Structure 1
Amino acid sequence: MVAPSDLPACATNQVESYRLIHSKFPPIGLFDDVADADEFEALYTLQALTNPRLRNEVGDLGLLPVDEIPFGIRGCSYATAPFTHVNPNGSRFSDGSFGVLYVADSLSAAIAEVKYHQQAYWQKVPSLHFERFVFRGLKCVFDEGGCRDALTLARTHAIYHLDAYHASRELGGELRRSASVGLRYHSVRYEGAICWALMTPQYVRDVIQTTHLEMIWNGSIAQVNRLSAIPVQQK
């Protein structure tokens, strides 16, 4: 097994990256409505008295120290949600007990990563013959300083296995326990691309939506289309 200390640390560098999220997940307004942790605590306490759905919207705050939430940035909720709404089935670098913010160096790479996992999931639903899934395309700016650099590992290393995540989850767990910023690594689904697995949203500087995309399911992901708005002339 490779340990985080075996990998060099990335130098401080502002990175522009991309991510897709399903459009059924709206931004969490509470994260975007406050400027700092004190305002958040006060507003959360107040809204919790009258909004029984608040816990479902915000997620499990016990999974993320409040001082790691990047209050005041654009798209704070997009940066924070992966850490408070954790997929219990896990991911490449998580066993499902903690969240990870995954981003890629291009929109094409982000599409390829999501397309693979969507296809793997929906192929297990034989009754689904046709469907349309809509995603938000996000641009995320963050500082990769302190991320461990797995680009130094050969693409044949066990953490890059197509479907077996044992080695990569061991590394992810060690990154989490050692409070590492994250990991820079080769994309497994898009040749030549780079991805990051961020273990904290703390160093995210900006997240904005740049596009809407749809994936058409017809026994497999048959198409990926960019959606655009058509201006309607007012009478």
Structure 2
Amino acid sequence: MRIAGLNDRGLIRLIPETRHKPPVLRGLVDTDDEAEILAGLEGRTSARLIAERDGSPALDRRELVFARRSHDLKVYGQTHINAAFTYTRPGGNRFNSGDRGAWYCSYDVLTSAEEVGFHRTRELGYIGIYEDEARYVELLADFIGDFPDLHDNPGHPALTPDPDIGYPEGQALAAALRREGHRGLLYPSVRHEGGHCFVAFDPGIVQNVRPGASWKLIWRGTPDYSIEGL
């Protein structure tokens, strides 16, 4: 596998936008003080907070991002970076297992939208109802370094569209690359033809995170969805 130099700004990661929704626990209490108590209790089971405090079998807490010098100088995106590596799907994703996450991003918002849209459509398929509206916000980040690149090997088993095949192959590849000291991987998008993606295995290489545009994905009765800017 060839090694490619990466020195790019503004790679795009889409995450669910929740600021338009009221806090999940707010309806259970009558005052802000009570809501704060509930939020503290909820934090006891937060995978991110637990990992920041204690680490996990697959993630040393020292790998995570923390405030610099003082609480007042927190890095924007700190919680988003840590969350990407501590909140995982059961069974993992294409290049990460279920016990350690990764930072997935792309060079184009349509590529990122196709990636998140695939997963949401798959979830809607489980219940058989394709009526939904989901808001996402861009997280932009910069990367620099030399990384393995799968673009010259589009037939690699890790790029198989079927998750039952592609995910185990990709996870095995990522584990091998991490053992060799690699901190990320460039690869062609599996969901968006012509799209280019990057996955960071290490929180420390995700730099200069900042918010970008907001988007809405809408399903109107079929697995096909539309994308609208907000």
Shorter-normalised TM-score: what interval?
0.7 to 0.9
Gaps of 5+ in 1: 1-6, 27-49, 228-235
Question: TM-score, normalising length from structure 2?
Answer: 0.75
2:16 to 16, 22, 33: 22
Q: Name the residue aligned to 1:210.
A: 212
Whole-Å separation in 2 of the counterparts to 1:108 and 1:179 = 31
Return closer, same or farther for 1:179/1:122 CA change in 2, 3 Å cut-off. farther
**What is the CA distance between 1:52 and its match in structure 2?**
2.5
**What is the CA distance between 1:111 and its match in structure 2?**
0.8
Whole-Å separation in 2 of the counterparts to 1:11 and 1:106 = 19
Whole-Å separation in 1 of the counterparts to 2:130 and 2:123 = 14
Q: Percent identity?
A: 25
Does the residue aligned with 1:156 lie in a helix, a strand or coil?
Answer: coil
1:124 to 119, 123, 126: 126
Whole-Å separation in 2 of the counterparts to 1:66 and 1:94 = 17
Q: Within the alignment, does 1:142 sit opposite 2:143 as a pair?
A: yes
**What is the CA distance between 1:157 and its match in structure 2?**
2.0
Return closer, same or farther for 1:10/1:25 CA change in 2, 3 Å cut-off. farther
Whole-Å separation in 1 of the counterparts to 2:207 and 2:185 = 17
Return closer, same or farther for 1:55/1:13 CA change in 2, 3 Å cut-off. farther
Whole-Å separation in 1 of the counterparts to 2:138 and 2:7 = 23
Q: Name the residue aligned to 1:52.
A: 41
- State the superposition RMSD in angstroms: 2.6
2:185 to 143, 164, 183: 183
Deviations 1:4-30 (A, max 9, x none): xxx33333624420011112499xxxx
Does the residue aligned with 1:115 lie in a helix, a strand or coil?
Answer: helix
Amino acid at match of 1:22: P
Aligned 8 A contact 1:137 1:211 in 2: yes
Aligned 8 A contact 1:175 1:199 in 2: no
**What is the CA distance between 1:161 and its match in structure 2?**
0.8
Q: Name the residue aligned to 2:226.
A: 223
Whole-Å separation in 1 of the counterparts to 2:197 and 2:189 = 5
Structure with more of its chain in strand, by fraction: 2
Whole-Å separation in 2 of the counterparts to 1:181 and 1:191 = 25
Does the residue aligned with 1:147 lie in a helix, a strand or coil?
Answer: strand
Number of positions where the alignment pairs a residue of Structure 1 with one of Structure 2: 197
1:68 to 46, 52, 63: 63
